[in-house]
Structure 1
Amino acid sequence: MTRNPDLRIFAKARPGALPMPGNRDISALAKPNVLDRWNDDGAGIRAIASGDNVITMFGAIGEDYWSDSGITAKKVTAQLRAIGDRPVEVQINSPGGDMFEGIAIYNVLREHPQDITVKVMGMAASAASIIAMAGNTVEIGAASFIMIHNCWVLAIGNRHDMAETASFLAPFDQAMADLYAQRTGSDVADVQKWMDAETFMSGSMAIERGFADAMLSADQVTTDEDTKAADRHVNELRAMELSLVASGHTRTEARARINKIKGTPGAALEPATTPGAGGTALVGALRGLLATATA
């Protein structure tokens, strides 16, 4: 299991802040099928224009090994500090990532003294949906999605370890359900059913259920084909890593095996034209690796 950094860094929090995990050998992550959905519906979507008070969250939540980037509470804190005491716009197109890092970012945004407008440009799934709830106003594209689910983890151990993990995660699922219910005005029981079902909500459904307030005009969004190809490629690597870990490998082992096929050990994502680094050949090789690993 991967050690989650100690995120208990906020001495003060406005009402509605979520609980923070301490040092645990657990990471709550986006599921591989969510990455696949983002490949189809969210990859490459970006805003047409931005300003000096805009924070963009395009990609994975948390430190991201495969793109040498990622959206973290530390980075968001620095951006808010640079913006200062002004209203903030947060643009999101993310399949999620580390749920606990998403909680930390939510708490950071809730601490900002001015209004925050969240714009869901393509997808706010998993951890990114938590971040979206920090907005005083949430706008969403007609073809965009908000997705909510329970904490999903990769954990190793015996039944006692699994019971301890389940016990540890329960209050986070409850806190998220309470947060969604407070934001939407829905019953907590209904929200929990939506989380259990891993619910994707389109723009109109998100507004109907109170997860968003208004529709984002189509002329504020564009799709960049080069960015879309890069997004989809790196998501194949993320999904393959998670699948290999689920089959019994450590994350270090999974990354080493993928990098061996990728041909660029320890490297971040290379352009698809780099030999051995991209395209259908890599994807096919990785899927063959997974089939062998799980046989």
Structure 2
Amino acid sequence: MNNFWEFRNISETEGELILYGQIASSKPWWADEGEGIYANQFTKDLKALGNISHLVMRINSGGGDVFAANAIYAQLKAHPAKVTGIIEGVAASAATILLAACDIVKAWSNATIMVHDPLAGLMGYYNKKDLEKVGDVLDTVKSSIINGYISKTGRTAEELSALMDQEKWMTAEEAMAEGFVDEIMDDVIVEASMTKDNRFVVVNSIAHDLSGFNTRPTFTSAPGLIQSLQSPQNVAQQGSKNENQKESDGVPITNIEELKNEYPQLCNQLVEQAVKNAVETERNRMKEIDEISNTVSPELVNKAKYEEPMDAGKLAFMALKEDAGRGEVFIQARQQELQNNGGVKPENSPSDADQKKVQESANIDAIANAMNARRGGTELTK
């Protein structure tokens, strides 16, 4: 898996930083072995440019990890080279922190800039004090972001906080009016569109995940030009109209290869998500089988895990059928034994009706044991 940035020397005195995609602190668990912390590798790559006097940062990013963005911000601010930022599509969320590190920020005329309050992702259960601590952390993070914005824009903390509260999407002109952009370039067109589910905005073939935001940019028929800001619900109502416009403006995508060529970043993200889902599903399947394995024969467990993969529910059913089959073989053997003895039953031999009741009871116990084991309960005994 490649880094989300690329450094290269343009000349002995000028370097270039291409920063496309999501900003992250560390490589995901499925990435190749090697340097795991992105900030460390970023520092090494920046130093490898040598004694440059000018660095051009080309950015097209929907944001990501605020702490990683702060680390990159610090590296760029501390570097002796003059830093020119060029927005080649989107600079949203944590990506705007990097703009504050630039001496000059240029934007294509139909680029998109967005600022918002920091977010925290939570899993598990928390009490009131825990949540208050999370709120305190978010307030601290917001203050650190605002301090960077102030040095770039010249706006007051109150003005910038109000913009962030709005989850403010801005055109290049609006961002220039707010101080985030210093110069607008008119000679380049940004290709941009929303996916059908309104989760991704695809800008210059880079897919940006907007699922964590409450608002979406919408576009005019001219590619990439922002028309207005709407809620995801309103955008969804216009979905069919926008799709028709897209198909009339160009050739529609009809197969997977065309989709890969048109939106390579989106396809990579979909593959990564599919791999994560598949691994999680298989892990859960194995765990549920292990939970009932003490009630099932080892041969059947091995078959369910590897030879003919099945879930725990089907395994429990197969085990029940196996137990029932053994009971039927026993009854048939007993009946044959009676026939061989001239039909004479031992004095204490149970009747056919009693045998049937015993078999039904065994079947019921087998089902109960399998279900209790799967739920973590206690096995029935008699």
Report the TM-score when normalising by structure 2.
Answer: 0.47
Q: Of residues 257, 265, 270 in structure 1, which corresponds to 2:277? A: 257
- Greater mean deviation of Cα atoms: 150-159 or 140-149: 150-159
Tell me the amino acid that sits aligned with residue 38 of structure 2.
T
Q: Of residues 50, 69, 77 in structure 1, which corresponds to 2:43? A: 77
Tell me the amino acid that sits aligned with residue 257 of structure 1.
N
1:155 matched to 2:122? The reply is yes
Greater relative contact order, per chain length (Cα 8 Å cut-off, separation 6+): 1
Report Cα offsets for 1:196-224 as digits up to 9, x if no partner: 11111111111111101001343497845
* Change over 3 Å in CA distance of 1:58–1:164 after alignment to 2: same
How many positions carry a matched residue from both structures? 202
How far has the Cα of 1:259 moved from its partner?
4.8
Report Cα offsets for 1:30-51 as digits up to 9, x if no partner: xxxxxxxxxxxxxxxxxxx983
How far has the Cα of 1:101 moved from its partner?
0.5
Give the equivalent residue in structure 1 for 2:80: 113
Task: Quote the Cα distance in structure 2 between the aligned partners of 1:94 and 1:226.
Answer: 19
Give the conservation status (yes or no) of the 8 Å contact 1:67–1:234. no
Partner SS, residue 57 of structure 2: strand
* Change over 3 Å in CA distance of 1:228–1:193 after alignment to 2: farther
Task: Quote the Cα distance in structure 2 between the aligned partners of 1:169 and 1:126.
Answer: 14
Give the equivalent residue in structure 2 for 1:57: 19
Aligned residues: CA RMSD: 3.4
How far has the Cα of 1:258 moved from its partner?
5.4
Task: Quote the Cα distance in structure 1 between the aligned partners of 2:30 and 2:56.
Answer: 24
Q: Of residues 181, 184, 191 in structure 2, which corresponds to 1:212? A: 181
Partner SS, residue 152 of structure 1: coil
Give the conservation status (yes or no) of the 8 Å contact 1:92–1:121. yes
* Change over 3 Å in CA distance of 1:94–1:66 after alignment to 2: farther
Give the conservation status (yes or no) of the 8 Å contact 1:66–1:237. no
Q: Of residues 138, 142, 152 in structure 2, which corresponds to 1:173? A: 142
Task: Quote the Cα distance in structure 2 between the aligned partners of 1:120 and 1:66.
Answer: 30
Task: Quote the Cα distance in structure 1 between the aligned partners of 2:261 and 2:95.
Answer: 19
1:127 matched to 2:89? The reply is no
Give the conservation status (yes or no) of the 8 Å contact 1:177–1:192. yes
Give the equivalent residue in structure 2 for 1:13: none
* Change over 3 Å in CA distance of 1:76–1:226 after alignment to 2: same
Tell me the amino acid that sits aligned with residue 200 of structure 1.
W
Task: Quote the Cα distance in structure 2 between the aligned partners of 1:67 and 1:92.
Answer: 25
How is 1:185-224 mapped onto 2 (pairs within 5 angstroms)? 185-219=154-188, 223=204
Task: Quote the Cα distance in structure 2 between the aligned partners of 1:206 and 1:106.
Answer: 19
Partner SS, residue 212 of structure 1: coil
Report percent identity of matched pairs.
26
Runs of 5+ unmatched residues, structure 1: 1-48, 242-253, 263-295
Task: Quote the Cα distance in structure 1 between the aligned partners of 2:16 and 2:261.
Answer: 20
Task: Quote the Cα distance in structure 2 between the aligned partners of 1:110 and 1:95.
Answer: 21
Report Cα offsets for 1:150-171 as digits up to 9, x if no partner: 2111124222211111112212
How far has the Cα of 1:227 moved from its partner?
6.2
Greater helix share, structure number: 2
1:140 matched to 2:174? The reply is no
Give the conservation status (yes or no) of the 8 Å contact 1:155–1:162. no
Task: Quote the Cα distance in structure 2 between the aligned partners of 1:169 and 1:218.
Answer: 39
How far has the Cα of 1:108 moved from its partner?
0.9
Task: Quote the Cα distance in structure 2 between the aligned partners of 1:132 and 1:77.
Answer: 18
Larger Cα-atom Rg: 2
Give the conservation status (yes or no) of the 8 Å contact 2:101–2:148. no
Report Cα offsets for 1:37-82 as digits up to 9, x if no partner: xxxxxxxxxxxx9836111111110135399499932232122211
Tell me the amino acid that sits aligned with residue 104 of structure 1.
A
